[in-house]
Amino acid sequence: MKKFSLKAAVVLLAGSFLCSSCIGSFSLFNKYEKWQCNMTSNKYVNGIVGLILQPIVAPICLFVDSVVLNTIEFWTGSNPMAAGQVKTVMGQDGRYYAIKTLKNGYEVKDANGEKTLFIHDAKTDSWSMTQNGVTKELIRFNANGTIQATLQNGETLTVSNDEAGLMQVREAVYNENCYALR
């Protein structure tokens, strides 16, 4: 009787860890699921092939996601399977943009095919924008908890990492644009 209750406790504990919502995004399994549903244009063929592959591939994907990829995502904060994903979003200007996830940032492509890169430099803990071959640092996270923002005129502004700091940057950008229009 004691062995049975110990086994039940181990199974329940393992189930609680695997079903917890804070483990990770299960990106490998989700990619496999998307591929399985769209491998052919015929949903019946997809279903038949899915019945054959599901018992073999799905447990492997879930195991790799649970033990390896989600652990990496938890400790590093980045998802190793996220690179290469492309999403289409509508900007505030009403135009659509294709956003591709890179290992160290994002590539944004507009409807005309123009690309803008937003790259994170882990050494300096900064974000830069590259457009038409010109790279400009946007923000830098300082060791003391402040943020150094680079304004459009090239000046830098060091602010606190909170709502008040964001407001300071907005005011500086707004004032800079207002004076430029006069």
pLDDT tens-digit map of 119-177? 989 899 898 999 988 998 888 999 998 999 888 888 888 999 888 888 888 888 877 65
pLDDT for the residue 158: 92
pLDDT for the residue 60: 83
CA angle 11, 15, 20 (to 5 degrees): 155
pLDDT for the residue 91: 81
Q: Which residues of 76-89 are buried (b: 16+ CB within 10 A; e: fewer)?
A: eeebebeeeeeeee
- Alpha carbon of 102 to those of 4, 16, 70: distances in Å? 48, 33, 18
Instruction: Look up residue 149 and give its two tokens.
Output: 């923002």
pLDDT for the residue 180: 46
pTM of the model: 0.54
85 touches 104 (CB < 8 A): no
62 touches 29 (CB < 8 A): yes
SS3 call for 134 = strand
Checking if the pLDDT of 12 tops 80, the result is no
